[in-house]
């Protein structure tokens, strides 16, 4: 075993450890996409080639439904996770105005949720933003305190993209339902990494994205429970059961369906990733004095490490590691280039300075033990270099 790692190490030129930003497309997914590039018939047609494409789309829908323990008719294909989040929030609130205009989310959501709620404020809705604790968890009692009779929608993510912190969705959902509010969860980071069962969680809506699940960018899913009135954001034809107009993106839908089918196995094997992550964390703490893992003592995604390296600017560290062929993230990918510290980390109580000195490492199903050893070796070198410059 050790020998294989050592011989692998010699051949490593680059190591990708930013899988929460995006994942590589799996060979099986690529293969299916290649087949559907030439199957161009519009699934709405009544001739054979069109009907075949329609059937293929429905088989992909069934795969996604199976992964979530949902029914096919609950699955709406969208263009990305951001669209799914926008659709869930903007698509239900108008129909619920008679009950009230109060909405609840948390301070640690992805911008596609946070900014949508900020937009709802400009339309006359009132929004409460729940705080998280120092582990990055939104506690059910904070929802219990904020929720009211006129609350119509609560949206809390299943797992945070920066820390991997898994939120107590079942409890949060139960509290929301006790007050007659709908519950949406952004499960973009959770899917394929941990089991996600919409019935067990009790959610009304749930968002997914293809490119975090080894499918390409440009495909997303919104799960919508029966009986929920969802307005279409894109008005036109009656595709997706009237919930999203636009000719189906057959190639990407097939990719998502294949990725969902393969994800069942990845979840079963998630112990391997967790083992590698824990080994990695242990070695990092040994070789980098004063380094700290955030959200270390709570239930986290098996692949995510959020690491504070005091006195080492996260961005400079990531750039130095890039020169050695190792890809990490200094914050969530959507915020790269921003000078502001991560709002997720400051919401957890980290100082601006510590938040600037934090990086995210996210393993993927393709990550090998030899790659972790390589990354560790390079980290040790970069840290020594930084320290000698101080
Ligand atoms: N939600 C979370 C938690 C994410 O991490 C991301 C992407 O980073 C998104 C939503 C947006 O997904 P997409 O890139 O498909 O729009």
Query: Could you tell me the pLDDT band of residue 204, with boundaries at 50, 70 and 90?
Result: very high
Residues with a CB atom less than 6 Å from ligand 1 = 80-82, 85, 110, 112, 157, 161, 186, 188-189, 209, 211, 220, 334
Residue 227 is predicted with a pLDDT of: 96
* Substitution candidate for ligand 1 out of 212, 215, 301 with most atoms within 8 A of CB: 212
The string of pLDDT tens digits covering residues 88-111 is 999 999 999 999 999 999 999 999
> For the chain, what percentages of helix, strand and coil (3-state, to nearest 5) are there?
45, 15, 40
Residue 96 burial (CB count, 10 A): 18
d(CA 120, CA 237): 26
Q: How far is the CA of 95 from the centre of ligand 1 (A)?
A: 26
Closest ligand 1 atom, residue 22 Cα: 8
pLDDT higher than 50, residue 334: no
**Which residue has a Cα nearest atom 14 of ligand 1?**
81
What average pLDDT is seen over the chain? 95
- Sign of CA pseudo-dihedral 340, 346, 352, 353: negative
Q: How far is the CA of 376 from the centre of ligand 1 (A)?
A: 28
* Substitution candidate for ligand 1 out of 83, 112, 249, 303 with most atoms within 8 A of CB: 112
The two structure tokens encoding residue 72: 């096919």
Share of the chain above pLDDT 70, in %: 95
Coil vs helix vs strand at 185: strand
Which residues are tagged catalytic? 334
Query: Could you tell me the pLDDT band of residue 335, with boundaries at 50, 70 and 90?
Result: very low
Query: Could you tell me the pLDDT band of residue 3, with boundaries at 50, 70 and 90?
Result: low
Residue 310 is predicted with a pLDDT of: 86
The two structure tokens encoding residue 270: 């998630």
The string of pLDDT tens digits covering residues 252-307 is 999 999 999 999 999 999 999 999 999 999 999 999 989 999 999 999 999 999 99
Residue 333 is predicted with a pLDDT of: 43
Residue 385 is predicted with a pLDDT of: 87
């Amino acid at each position: 075993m050790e020998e294989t790692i050592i011989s692998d190490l010699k051949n490593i030129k680059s190591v990708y450890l930013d899988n929460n930003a995006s994942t590589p497309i799996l060979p099986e997914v690529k293969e299916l996409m290649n087949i559907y590039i030439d199957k161009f018939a519009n699934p709405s047609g009544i001739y054979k080639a069109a009907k075949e494409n329609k059937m293929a789309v429905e088989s992909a829908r069934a795969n996604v439904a199976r992964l979530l323990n949902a029914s096919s008719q609950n699955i709406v294909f969208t263009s990305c996770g951001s669209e799914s989040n926008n659709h869930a929030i903007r698509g239900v609130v108008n129909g619920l105005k008679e009950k009230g205009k109060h909405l609840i989310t948390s301070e640690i959501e992805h911008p596609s949720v946070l900014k949508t709620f900020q937009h709802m404020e400009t339309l006359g809705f009132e929004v409460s933003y729940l705080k998280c604790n120092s582990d990055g968890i939104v506690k059910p009692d904070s929802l219990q305190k904020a929720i009211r009779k006129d609350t119509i929608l609560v949206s809390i993510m299943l797992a945070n993209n920066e820390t991997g912190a898994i939120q107590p969705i079942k409890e949060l959902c139960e509290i929301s339902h006790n007050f007659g509010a709908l519950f949406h969860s952004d499960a973009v980071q959770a899917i394929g990494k941990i089991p996600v069962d919409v019935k067990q969680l009790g959610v009304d809506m749930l968002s997914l994205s293809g490119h975090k699940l080894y499918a390409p960018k440009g495909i997303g899913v919104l799960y919508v429970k029966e009986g929920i009135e969802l307005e279409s954001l894109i008005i036109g034809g009656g595709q997706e059961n009237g919930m999203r107009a636009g000719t189906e993106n057959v190639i990407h839908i097939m990719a998502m369906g294949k990725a969902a089918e393969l994800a069942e196995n990845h979840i079963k094997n998630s112990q391997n990733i967790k083992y590698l992550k824990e080994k990695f964390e242990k070695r990092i703490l040994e070789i980098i004095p004063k380094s700290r893992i955030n959200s270390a003592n709570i239930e986290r995604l098996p692949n995510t490490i959020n690491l504070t390296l005091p006195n080492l600017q996260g961005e400079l560290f990531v750039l130095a590691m890039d020169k050695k062929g190792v890809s990490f993230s200094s914050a969530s990918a959507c915020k790269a280039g921003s000078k502001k510290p991560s709002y997720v980390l400051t919401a957890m109580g980290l100082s601006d300075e510590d938040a600037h000195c934090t990086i995210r490492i996210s393993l993927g199903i393709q990550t090998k033990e030899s790659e972790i050893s390589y990354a560790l070796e390079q980290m040790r070198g970069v840290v020594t270099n930084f320290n000698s410059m101080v």
